[in-house]
Every structure is written in structure tokens, then in C-alpha cells.
Structure 1
Amino acid sequence: MRARMIELSWSGLRVPTIAEELGCSQKTVRCRLHRFNRSGLPGLDDLGRQGRKRRITEEERSRIIALVKSGPPGRLR
């Protein structure tokens, strides 16, 4: 799809038409075209996900999930 985006742009189509043709947002098309213009073919690759790193380990997460799924302490069954 990314290469098709470039192909459509080079054939003279505008961003709204490309977005409609590919079923994505105009913002996505603009972002990809700018990245391609800036970095060439490597600019078409997906970028690594960014965001805050986890504050707890996978083991701690599993323990919390197990606690949430169990009944409250001291409750009659």
C-alpha cells in the first residue's frame, strides 16, 4: 500500500483522492509522502512504537491479573 501511495502521487493524484483510493486518512497519506520525500524508500517503513516504558514487570502484571480475577478475601463462598 505504501508504494502504491507514492505511485499515485507521482501520477498526479492529490492527497484526498489517494486517501479515498487506499481507504486511509489524508493525514496518513501526507505523513507517508513527507517521510518518503525526506528519507526515500526507508521512510516508507513503519516506525518503532513509542511511548512510556512499562512500570511493572510481566510477572507483576500476571500476579495483579490473577488477584483481580480471584474473589475478595474474607468473603463467604
Structure 2
Amino acid sequence: MVNRPAPGVLLREGDRGELEALVRSRSARAGLVRRARIVLLAADGLSNTEIARRVGASRTTVIAWRGRYQRLGMDGLEDADRPGRPRKVDHAAIVSATLTPPPKSLGVTHWSTRLLAARLGVSAATVARAWRAYGIKPWREQSFRFSTDPELVGKVTDICGLYLGTNPDVPDNAIVLCVDEKSQI
């Protein structure tokens, strides 16, 4: 049996430029770039076997992506929903909870995966996946954090008195040493 070349794919108006831009893109997903190459090569009249050889795919894969483009256009090149049980955990809810400060009773300045997971009733790995998906790093917040120490005002007053020399209880030749617990404070 002789393999006859499949008829060339007819591109829709404006799609050639979009497909060529995808193939040249350095930021597009590799799978999408590969599909764009398949469609462009098919539009140029190459056989399915030749396209498969050039893009490193099976002939069946080439036929499938040609067909999806012909049916759905550019939208057909996007990933389809994956089979399986849908996700029950709402990542948006985890992100929203992360952005609210933890209760003072916990004595912390920001959420950890374990604390937030216990609060929301999910696993710490689930919280970590949500943070990773949205690029959230609560421990690297670039803002001032208030201490949860109830005696902070008294301590700060004493320390400032040492630095300024306004505390009458400090001897004249006292040495002041400072060690910060948090680098941003």
C-alpha cells in the first residue's frame, strides 16, 4: 500500500502570521509551538510522515493536530481539559487566605504552609502547590512586619533610651550591642 500525501491544510485568514509568531516565540509552551509547526508544514503540503519526522512526533499525532486545526482553527491547538476527577480545592481561596494576616493568637507574622493548611482543613502540600502556582512566597514579603510581642512598646522604649542616652537607669559608660532577629526590622 502506497502512502499518498494528505491534501494541504487550508489556513484561515490571518492564521499564518499567528502560527509563524508562535514558532518563533521563546516564551510559548513547547507543545503549542510543536502544534503550530505541524499545521504550518501541513499547509505547505508536506506529507504526514515527513511532518512527523521533522517535528519528532508520530504520524498519528500529526493527523490528530491537523484535524483539530481544521475543525477548530487556532483554538484547536490549545490543550484540552485533562481527564480525571476535577480539583476540589480552590486555589483562589488559598491565595485569598494567605493574603489575610494570621490571628495574633498564633504569634506569627506570616502564614506557613502547615499553619494555613490546618486553618483551611487541607494538606500542607495542597497549600504549597497553590503558592507555587501563583508565585506566592509569604516569607519573602517586601514590607515591614509588626511584632506580635505584647511587651514590644516597653522594649522599644528601653532600647531607644539606651541608644539616645535618655534612660536615667543606664550608667554613663554602658555599651550597647544590638542583634536583630529579623533583617528587615
State whether TM-score is above 0.5: yes
Q: Does 1:38 align with 2:71?
A: yes
Q: CA deviation at 1:46?
A: 1.1
Give unpaired runs (5+ residues) of structure 2. Answer: 1-33, 87-121, 124-185
Correspondent of 1:5 among 27, 38, 41? 38
Partner of 1:29: 62
Q: Which runs of 4+ in 1 moved over 4 A?
A: none
How many residues are matched? 55
Give unpaired runs (5+ residues) of structure 1. Answer: 60-77
Q: Does 1:48 align with 2:81?
A: yes
Once the two structures are superposed, the pairs formed by residues 13-24 of structure 1 within 5 Å of their partners are: 13-24=46-57
Highest Rg: 1 or 2?
Answer: 2
Distance 1:44 1:20 in 2: 20
1:32-72 CA-to-partner distances (Å, cap 9, x unmatched) read 10000000000001111113x28xxx86xxxxxxxxxxxxx
Q: What amino acid maps onto 2:67 in structure 1?
A: H
Distance 1:24 1:46 in 2: 16
Higher RCO (C-alpha 8 Å, min separation 6): 1
Q: CA deviation at 1:2?
A: 1.1
% identical equivalent positions: 36
1:36 counterpart SS class: helix
